[in-house]
């Protein structure tokens, strides 16, 4: 009840299938410009990326544990991006959601938006019988065995981009190349 940060009204949901990170980022940027101009309604993009490591605005280079050469040999792209947060991995078996939402139509509160995304993920996981929760002082969603979803957002003139990454059937071995979200 009110947790989902989409205002009542239309929202276009798109399944992009598997798409390179750079292409999904370019699409997000285009949709954000159009949403700011009120040319389109809110959008929710679902995508699965080929192996990629992204560095958010707060990224610490030492949290990428492999050289560019090693990453290339492993088939992993590396991209700097404008989302919040540190370093994360995206890859096959992970559901990535990118809400392009005008928060002026909901509430102008970044923390409430992030907590809303966490709650949506917690509620969705519960539908599959998976108990999860927030952890004090750490953004994302956790199960007793560890972090299951990461969140990193960007907000410009109250329009959101980036979003969440939910590990469903992700090969967790790829996380060995990074210190995810700066958490050892």
Q: E strands along 24-167, which residues?
A: 42-48, 52-55, 77-80, 87-90, 94-100, 133-135, 138-143, 146-156, 159-167
Told to judge if 11 belongs to the known catalytic residues of this protein, a careful annotator would answer no
Q: Is 19 helix (H, G, I), strand (E, B) or coil?
A: coil
Catalytic-role residue among 129, 181, 183, 184: 181
Distance, CA of 144 to CA of 142 (rounded, Å): 7
Give the sheet arrangement for strand 138-143, strand by strand. 11-18, 42-48, 94-100, 159-167, 146-156, 138-143, 133-135
Nearest to 122 by CA among 174, 88, 94, 164: 164
- For 157: left if phi > 0, alpha if psi spans -120 to 50, otherwise beta; the answer is left
DSSP β-bridge partners for residue 54: 79, 88
Beta partners for residue 142, in sequence order: 133, 147
Beta bridge partners of 138: 135
Catalytic residues: 181
């Amino acid at each position: 009840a009110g947790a989902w940060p989409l205002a009542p009204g239309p929202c276009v949901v798109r399944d992009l299938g598997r798409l390179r990170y750079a292409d999904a980022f370019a699409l997000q940027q285009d949709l954000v410009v159009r949403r700011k101009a009120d040319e389109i309604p809110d959008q929710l993009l679902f995508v699965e990326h080929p192996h990629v490591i992204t560095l958010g605005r707060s990224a610490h280079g030492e949290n990428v544990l492999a050289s560019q050469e090693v990453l290339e040999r492993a088939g992993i792209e590396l991209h700097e991006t404008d989302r919040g947060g540190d370093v994360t991995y995206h890859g096959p078996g992970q559901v990535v959601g990118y809400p392009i939402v005008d928060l002026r139509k909901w509430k102008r509160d970044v923390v409430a938006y992030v907590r809303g995304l966490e709650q949506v993920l917690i509620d969705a996981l519960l539908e599959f019988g998976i108990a999860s929760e927030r952890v004090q002082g750490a953004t994302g969603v956790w199960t007793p065995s560890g972090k299951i979803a990461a969140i990193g957002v960007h907000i410009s003139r109250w329009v959101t981009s980036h979003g969440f990454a939910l590990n469903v059937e992700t090969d967790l071995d790829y996380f060995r190349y990074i210190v995810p979200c700066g958490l050892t």
